[in-house]
């Protein structure tokens, strides 16, 4: 009897949390960033003097590390020392650089620490997963928004479809 009650309560709680979570996650999360960095302009804009960068040109550790990493300001300044220096946003960037500071970028995607998930970029890049699979069409975005719901079911579905291990200890440890 008792265990039935526990199960019922848990189910009810699960339903409540699903409602709350979907309410929050349903709205695209699109934080304002300290510098209005435009991904589209750097990757997809057509034209003669556009850089047409690959994701890993700036997020250069996606194939080496657990983290794709955010480029250091010094990396931005390789080009912007001379390019578009008249832009107020680039001037903000230059100001950070001259103070040897990093802009306080806001995270768009993260996994709660309590989820005990140890996601690692490296093996996904090694397996040829395209960045957009998990991050959406960032290359078409002017301001990055959270486009993909990184729920456990979503991870597992992809792992199943691609016949990759779905052992719990692949992600949780």
Partner 1 sequence: MKRREFIVLTGVGAASTTLLSGCGNPENALIPALIPDDTYTPGIDYWKASTCALCSAGCGILVRTRERAANKIEGNPLHPVNKGALCARGQAGLQVLYNPDRVKGPMKRSGERGSGQFESISWDEAAKILVDRLADIRAKNGQASVAFSLGNTSNVNRIAAEHFMSSFGSERFISAPVSSDHDDLLFNGTGQRAVFDIANATYLLSFGARFLETWQSPVMYSLAYGEFRRGKNRRRGKFVMIEPRMSTTAANADEWLPAAIGTEGLLALAIAQVIIREKLTPNPVSPNVANGTLDEFAPEKTEADINLPAEKIVRIAREFAASERPLAIAGGAAALGDGESIRAVHFLNKLVGNLNMPGGVFEVEQFDPLAKLGTGKPIKWAPLSEKDGYEGGGSALLIHGMNPVFHSPQMTDRINAFQFIVSFSPFIDETTQLADLILPDHSYLESWDIQAATAHHTVWHADLRALQPTPTPYAAIASPAISPEFDTKQTADVLIDVSRQLGQPLPFESSEECVRKAVSEVRRAFGQAAEISDEDWKSLLESGVMTGDSKPSGSTSGLESAKAGDQPLAISTGEPKPSNDAYPFFVLAYEHAALGYGDHANLPWLQELPDPLTSVLWGSWVEINPKTAASLHIEDGDLVEVKTADGSLRLPAVLFPAIRPDVIAMPYGQGHTAYGQYAKGRGVNPATIAGPYWDAKKRFGVRASVAKAAGEAKLVRFGTSLPEKIDTPR
Partner 2 sequence: MEEKVESKKPQWAMVIDLDRCTGCEACVVACHAENNIRIAGEGPAAGGRSVNWIRVERYYEGEYPDIRVKFMPVMCQHCEEAPCEPVCPVYATYHTDEGLNGQVYNRCVGTRYCANNCPYTVRFFNFLDPVWPEPLSKSLNPEVSVRYRGVMEKCTFCIQRIRKGEDKAKDEGREIRDGDVNPACVQSCTARAMTFGNIADPTSEVARLSKSGRASRLMEELGTKPRVTYLSRGD
- Give the binding site for partner 1 (CB under 8 A): 13, 16-17, 20-21, 24, 31, 60-61, 64-67, 69-72, 74, 102, 104-107, 110, 112-114, 120-121
CA distances from 130 to 48, 54, 56, 126 (A): 26, 11, 11, 10
- Which is nearer to partner 1, 113 or 163 (by Cβ)? 113
- What is the DSSP secondary-structure string of 87-142? SHHHHHHHHHHHTT----PPPSS---GGG-B---HHHHHHTT--HHHHH-SGGG-S
Cβ closest to partner 2, residue 3 vs residue 82? 3
Q: Are 143 and 36 in contact (CB under 8 A)?
A: yes
Neighbouring CB atoms inside 10 A of 55's CB total 19
CB 118 → partner 2: shortest distance, Å?
Answer: 6
Residues that bind partner 2 (CB under 8 A): 114-116, 118, 120, 122-123, 126-129, 162-165, 167-170, 172-173
Give which of partner 2, partner 1, none residue 156 binds (C-beta under 5 to 8 Å, depending on kind): none
For partner 2, which is the closer residue by CB, 67 or 79?
67
Q: Which does 118 bind (CB under 5 to 8 A by kind): partner 2, partner 1, none?
A: partner 2
């Amino acid at each position: 009897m008792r265990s039935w009650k526990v199960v019922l309560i848990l189910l009810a709680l699960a339903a409540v949390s699903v409602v709350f979570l979907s309410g929050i996650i349903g709205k695209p999360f699109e934080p304002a960033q300290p510098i209005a960095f435009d991904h589209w302009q750097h990757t997809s804009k057509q034209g003669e003097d556009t850089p047409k960068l690959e994701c890993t040109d700036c997020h250069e550790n996606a194939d080496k590390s657990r983290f794709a990493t955010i480029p250091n300001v010094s990396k931005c300044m390789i080009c912007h020392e001379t390019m578009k220096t008249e832009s107020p946003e680039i001037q903000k960037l230059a100001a950070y650089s001259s103070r040897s500071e990093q802009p306080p970028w806001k995270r768009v995607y993260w996994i709660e620490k309590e989820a005990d998930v140890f996601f690692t970029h490296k093996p996904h890049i090694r397996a040829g997963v395209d960045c957009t699979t998990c991050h959406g069409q960032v290359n078409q975005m002017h301001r990055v928004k959270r486009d993909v719901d990184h729920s456990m079911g979503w991870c597992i579905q992809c792992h199943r479809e691609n016949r990759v291990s779905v052992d719990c200890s692949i992600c949780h440890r």
